[in-house]
Structures are given as structure tokens and as C-alpha cells.
């Protein structure tokens, strides 16, 4: 409400007259910028924390581009005198893991296959399950959901042995398909939870309108619900992709000889070296392996935050 009695209130503006009258007294315009001690302290702490967490990454990168004699000379933090990308090439294509000397490359492509397929099925299964449990409720669907979520808290170590026995009896053991099924199963509870929570924010009337319009289970999912689920799909993809890419134990147990993920190969490279340890190659190999999740976060962090907070703001 405009205060008409206030002399600062400019009546002429209301009438469309663009002439400004001077304001009478007191503060006006933008507040002055101030640098308080609190602000300074905040930045000091933030910068210190950033340095603390960045030092290992810095050491890794520097070590990976130094020749071995420079590393032997010590000085972890020093910049390389004669930088080389040789260790990266060795790590990628010719270092030995066990008896095979093909570098990380085969593992990298295995990991890509496992992650793409695993993410696709885990996210799709979670989306469909969450959709069904949000919109097509049946008697006991909440109980089924609770049991499913409980699955997210079961330590997977206790399932490895029984699962391995089941797999070997049905012929899935040691195959890419088997590994993808494992990742889908273990990813399902958390992706279902994500999607169900997201669908809670979708007005049920949207679903009702689609049913009156004659659409069925699959059409409503594909044409109405899925197109508006981009934020949560992105979150689920990032989450499961990181989990599957970083997985070691499942790949080791269920991957077999031909579909070992990158992490198991990296482990072999580092533990299986004889003689002098080539720190630069190890650092390069580790960095290559860690690069994928790092890049995912770098390029989709914004979407991740947006998806996590989706629904809290009117959208």
C-alpha cells in the first residue's frame, strides 16, 4: 500500500508523469557494500578448505606428468621440470594388469558398457516402479514400497555368495548381462525412492485428466509423466552412474574374465607391479579412472542441485 501522506511518495508518477521528485530523507537506493570481519573469516575458511581438498588432486596430476627420476628426487609439491605425457600413454594402453599388458583401455570400455546399461535399466526400472506406486496404487502397495526401500539398507556383502550360486546355476555368472542385472537390482530401491518422492509433487489431477482422456499405463508414463521428470531422471542418472562406475566388488565377483570394469584393472595395475613402482603411471591410471565421475559432476552439478531441490519450489 502506498502511503499517500508520506511526502516522499510521488503522486505525479501515478499519473504517468515521468518527473522524479527528490526523496526527503533517510536511506535510499542500493544498500552500501560492506566488508565485515565475519565475511573475511568466512572466505578464509572456505579457501583453506578448498586448498586442503585440492592438494591430493594437485599432487596426483603433478606426479603423473613427471618422469621417474624427478619423482625419485622428491618434492611432491614442486612443479615438473620436464613435463611428459608418457605415463598417461603407458597407463592407457600398455601397462600390465596381471599377464595382460593392454593398459586401462579395455577396462575403460568395459566400464562404459556396464555403466550405460546398468544406469539405463536401474533408472528405467526405478522410474516405472515409482510411477506405478505413486499413481496406480493397489492394496498393499505401500507395504511393497516399504519392503523395497528396506532393500536399500541391506549390506550387499551378505548377498554376494547366494547371488553367485544362483548366477552360476542359471548361467549368468561371469557375463556382462549378469553384472548389469546385479547393478539394476541394487540400484532399484534408491531410484524407486527418488522417483516416488518426485512424483509426489506431481498433481494427481494430471494423472486423472490423462485417464479421462483415455490414456493407459504405458502411454501416461511415456507421454505425460516421463517428459516432465527430467530433473529427477538427471539426478538418478548421476547417482547410479557414479555408483556403478566406482563399483569394484561386484565387477570383481560377477564380471568374469571379459567384462571386468576399470576399477578392478586399476587395482591389478597398482598391486601387481614388480620391481620399482612407477608412481607416475599409477597416478595417471588412477586419474583416468576417476575422470568420468568427475566430469559428470562438473557438467551436471547444476542439474543435480536443481533435481534434488525439485518440488520444493513451484515450477
Q: Which stretch binds other proteins (CB under 8 A): 63-71, 103-111, 205-213, 297-305?
A: 205-213
Residues sharing a CB contact under 8 Å with residue 101, sequence separation 6 or more, in sequence order: 94, 95
Site residues (CB under 8 A) for other proteins, limited to 47-66: none
Asked if 116 touches other proteins (CB under 8 A), the answer is: no
Q: Is 211 in the site for other proteins (CB under 8 A)?
A: yes
CB of 202 or CB of 270, closer to other proteins: 202
| Residue 205 sits in the site that holds other proteins (CB under 8 A) | yes
- Interaction of residue 77 with other proteins, rule CB under 8 A: no
CA diameter of the chain: 90
Binding residues for other proteins restricted to 184-203, rule: CB under 8 A:
203
Nearest alpha carbon to residue 192 among 124, 118, 129? 129
Backbone angles phi, psi at 255, to 5 degrees: -75, -25
Interface with other proteins, residue 210, by CB under 8 A: yes
140 lies in the site for other proteins, by CB under 8 A: no
Kindly state the smallest distance separating residue 136's Cβ from other proteins, in Å: 12
3-state class of 97 per DSSP?
strand
Range in contact with other proteins (rule: CB under 8 A) among 11-19, 46-54, 216-224, 265-273: 216-224
Applying CB under 8 A, which of residues 39, 208, 277, 302 lies at the interface with other proteins?
208
What is the number of H-type helices and E-type strands within the chain? 14, 0
CA dihedral sign of residues 70, 71, 75, 81: positive
State yes or no: residue 303 binds other proteins (CB under 8 A): no
Separation CA 105–CA 93 (nearest Å): 6
Task: Give how far Cα 302 sits from Cα of 9, 66, 79, Å.
Answer: 42, 34, 32
Measured from the CB atom, is 162 or 227 closer to other proteins? 227
Q: How far is the CB of 282 from other proteins (least distance, A)?
A: 48
Distance (Å, rounded) from C-alpha 145 to C-alpha 133? 7
Q: Please give the Cα distance from 312 to 200 (Å, whole number).
A: 11
Residues 242-261 that bind other proteins (CB under 8 A): none
What is the 8-class DSSP label of residue 80? P
- Site for other proteins contains 213 (CB under 8 A): yes
Pick 135 or 167: Cβ nearer other proteins: 135
Query: Is residue 222 at the binding interface for other proteins, with CB under 8 A as the rule?
Result: no
Binding site for other proteins (CB under 8 A): 203, 205-206, 208-215, 219, 223-224, 227-228
Amino acid at each position: 500500500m502506498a502511503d499517500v501522506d508520506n511526502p516522499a511518495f510521488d503522486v505525479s508518477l501515478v499519473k504517468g508523469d515521468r518527473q522524479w521528485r527528490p526523496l526527503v530523507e533517510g536511506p535510499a537506493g542500493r544498500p552500501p557494500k560492506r566488508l565485515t570481519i565475519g565475511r573475511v573469516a568466512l572466505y578464509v575458511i572456505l579457501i583453506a578448505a578448498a586448498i586442503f581438498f585440492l592438494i591430493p588432486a594437485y599432487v596426483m596430476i603433478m606426479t603423473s606428468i613427471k618422469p621417474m627420476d624427478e619423482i625419485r628426487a622428491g618434492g611432491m609439491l614442486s612443479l615438473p621440470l620436464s613435463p611428459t605425457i608418457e605415463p598417461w600413454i603407458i597407463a592407457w594402453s600398455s601397462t600390465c594388469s596381471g599377464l595382460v599388458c593392454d593398459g586401462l583401455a579395455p577396462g575403460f570400455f568395459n566400464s562404459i558398457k556396464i555403466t550405460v546399461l546398468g544406469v539405463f535399466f536401474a533408472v528405467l526400472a526405478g522410474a516405472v516402479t515409482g510411477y506405478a506406486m505413486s499413481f496406480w496404487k493397489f492394496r498393499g502397495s505401500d507395504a511393497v514400497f516399504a519392503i523395497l526401500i528396506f532393500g536399500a539398507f541391506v549390506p550387499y556383502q551378505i548377498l554376494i555368495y547366494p547371488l553367485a550360486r544362483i548366477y552360476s546355476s542359471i548361467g549368468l555368472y561371469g557375463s556382462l548381462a549378469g553384472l548389469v542385472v546385479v547393478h539394476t537390482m541394487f540400484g532399484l530401491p534408491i531410484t524407486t525412492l527418488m522417483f516416488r518422492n518426485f512424483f509426489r509433487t506431481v498433481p494427481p489431477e494430471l494423472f486423472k485428466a490423462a485417464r479421462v482422456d483415455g490414456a493407459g499405463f504405458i502411454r501416461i508414463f511415456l507421454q505425460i509423466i516421463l517428459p516432465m521428470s527430467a530433473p529427477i531422471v538427471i539426478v538418478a542418472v548421476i547417482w547410479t552412474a557414479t555408483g556403478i562406475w566406482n563399483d569394484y566388488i561386484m565387477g570383481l565377483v560377477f564380471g568374469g574374465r571379459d567384462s571386468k570394469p576399470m576399477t578392478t584393472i586399476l587395482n591389478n595395475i597398482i598391486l601387481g607391479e614388480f620391481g620399482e613402482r612407477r608412481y607416475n603411471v599409477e597416478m595417471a591410471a588412477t586419474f583416468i579412472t576417476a575422470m568420468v565421475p568427475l566430469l559428470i559432476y562438473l557438467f551436471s552439478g547444476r542439474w543435480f542441485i536443481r533435481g534434488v531441490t525439485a518440488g520444493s519450489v513451484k515450477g
